[in-house]
Amino acid sequence: MSVEKTPQEAEAVSEFVERFASELAEAGMQMMPARIFSCLMAEDSGVLTSAELSERLHVSPAAVSGAIGYLARVGLVSREREPGSRRDRYRVRNNAWFESMTQRDELMLRWIRVLNEGVDTIGGGTPAGRRLAESSEFFEFLMNELAGVLARWRALQSERAARTP
């Protein structure tokens, strides 16, 4: 559990949550998932219940539920049972960004497959076909590069962990 915050500290955290959520929304995430993700990131334990999220963000439990569904699908948050209770609690993973990026391979593979089907359907010699082929090639390139980036990140994290007492 986290240490009780003063009203000023709680207000500062709330302002951070809204600023970070705005940045995530500007990058394309819907606002409610962005707010919930930001709130979980700012929580020491990284875990909150639906009621706690509703109270902190002044939103309905239904809004929390819908946003959690999205965040779980993209791998940023996991849902777990509160021990001895029927209530769910939601956990942001410490390595949420890494896990989310590793799940992108499956998504990009599906896009590549569909884009290649589009090239076959439309014809590779047409302007649209060339555009689809270039998109497919881009995602293949991105997948290959992302694999290397993620491997380097994992190595860096292992080095840091080895240096930390």
How many residues are there in the chain?
Answer: 165
Distance of CA 28 to the CA centre of its chain: 11
- Digitized pLDDT (tens) for each residue of the chain, 165 residues in all: 456 778 888 899 999 999 999 999 999 999 999 999 999 999 999 999 999 999 999 999 999 999 999 999 888 999 888 777 778 899 998 788 887 777 778 888 999 999 999 999 999 999 999 999 999 999 999 999 988 998 999 899 899 888 887
Tell me which H or E stretch contains 106.
helix 104-122
Q: What is the largest CA-CA distance in the chain?
A: 65
Q: State the number of CA atoms in the 13 A half-sphere of 15 facing the CB.
A: 6
The two tokens of residue 25 are 């929304």
Distances (CA, A) of 11 to 7, 17, 152: 6, 10, 37
Are the CB atoms for 55 and 64 separated by under 8 Å?
Answer: no
The two tokens of residue 78 are 């996991």
Give dist(CA 96, CA 101) in Å, integer. 9
> Dihedral angle at the C-alpha atoms of 15, 17, 20, 24, nearest 10 degrees?
-140
- Residue 70's nearest CA partner among 20, 34, 21, 16 is 34
Tell me which H or E stretch contains 158.
helix 127-163
Residue with tokens 């080095």: 159
pLDDT in the model for residue 3: 66
Which amino acid, one-letter code, is at 125? G
